[in-house]
Structure formats: C-alpha cells, structure tokens
Amino acid sequence: MGKLRELKKHLRRGAVYRRADLEQWSHAVDRHLGELVKEGTLQKLSHGLYYYPKETAFGYAPPDEAALVRSFLKDDAFLLTSPNAYNTLGVGTTQLYNKRVVYNHKRHGVFELGGRTFYFHTKPRFPKKLTPEFLLVDLVNNLEGLAEDPKEVLANVDDRAREMDVKKLGQAVKAYGGVRAKRVLGPVVN
C-alpha cells in the first residue's frame, strides 16, 4: 500500500500519463494502474494512456486535447485543428464538424483517445500554430472532404487570397500546398 501511496503523490490533476511515465515510481506499475483505475483515481483513455481527472464545479473535466495528443505521440511536434477552423476565413464554409485533425510526423490513422476520435495525418511540414494563410492552403488541399459546394468555395477562396499578405500566403503555398493548392493559389502569389 505504501508504494501505491508514493505513486499517487506524483500524480497531478488534469494530467495525462503514459504507462511508461509512471514506471519510475512503481515496481508493479500494471497492478498499481489497475488499482488506481478501479478506485476512480485514474481513467483509462486508451491502451497505455491514463488521465488523472481535474474536478470542476460541474464534475470532472475531460483531458485537454493537446495534452492527450502530446502524451499519445510522446512528442510536441504536432498541429491540432478541425475543419471548423475554415469557417473563420469567410469563404462560405459554415458547416460544423465533429472532427479533430492532428498533423504530425509519427502516426497516421484514426485513433480514439479518451472517448474522442482523432484523425492523425503524417505530414513532412506543418506550422507550429494555425495561421489564416495555412488555413486557406489547407482548405484547398482538403476541399473534397467538405460539405459545401467546391465551386462556390473556390470562388470565395480566390477573393480571400487577394486580401491576404501575398508574401505570407506564398510561403504557405510553397511549404504546405498540394497540387490543387498550388494550381488555385499560384496565380495570386506569383
């Protein structure tokens, strides 16, 4: 019981842990994890991934998505986004999507983490944070996956691209653009 208590001292509310993160404080980590999950101290999110719930006035808060993805990837090199972000561009996208996209260098596929589904895409390059220029390029790259009329959106994309900083947009097209993005946005940035 003393080792389990020792392990609990190192847990922080709201943190996501990999099994390997907790091995340093326990010689029987699987048994201790089982006990902590059974008593409700930890929640099992996925194979080898655990969450120490943070209490709020409304009950337990779900884990922060970025912390969840960071622990899953064992890496900080990722960009977490959603097709909903395209709606901020003012190009006629208005749909709301229940989809979280993770651009990263390690994993590809659909993974359920903590009851939420994430779409992981390996990409050679992506920015550290979302910018309007990246979003516009990403929108054109992923146009076929959207519910809106592509012709209407593309007409608005052209107008929006002409309002943006041409240098920044050109850098985004060069760094992140696929064939379609280079074809559609090339005339604006050249």
- Range(s) of the domain holding residue 49: 2-63
Does 81 share its domain with 108?
yes
Q: How many structural domains is the chain composed of?
A: 2
**Directed axis angle between helix 132-141 and helix 179-189, to 10°?**
130
> What letter does residue 57 receive in the DSSP assignment?
T
The pLDDT score that the predictor gives to residue 1 is: 61
Question: Which tens digit of pLDDT belongs to each residue from 123-172?
Answer: 999 999 999 999 999 999 999 999 999 999 999 999 999 999 999 999 99
In 3D space, the residue among 114, 106, 99, 103 whose CA is nearest the CA of residue 52 turns out to be 114
Positions of the chain with pLDDT under 70: 1
Does 37 share its domain with 109?
no
* C-alpha to C-alpha distances, 98 to 85, 166, 185, nearest whole angstrom: 12, 32, 28
Largest interatomic CA distance in the chain: 68
The pLDDT score that the predictor gives to residue 69 is: 96
Does 101 share its domain with 117?
yes
Domain end residue (candidates: 63, 79, 97): 63
Handedness of CA 105, 108, 112, 117 (dihedral sign): positive
The pLDDT score that the predictor gives to residue 190 is: 86
Does 99 share its domain with 176?
yes
Please indicate, yes or no, whether the overall pTM of this predicted structure exceeds 0.75: yes
Question: How does strand 78-81 pair with strand 100-104?
Answer: antiparallel
Does 158 share its domain with 97?
yes
What is the spatial distance between Cα 120 and Cα 102, in angstroms, rounded to a whole number? 5
What is the spatial distance between Cα 176 and Cα 172, in angstroms, rounded to a whole number? 6
The pLDDT score that the predictor gives to residue 114 is: 85
The pLDDT score that the predictor gives to residue 100 is: 97
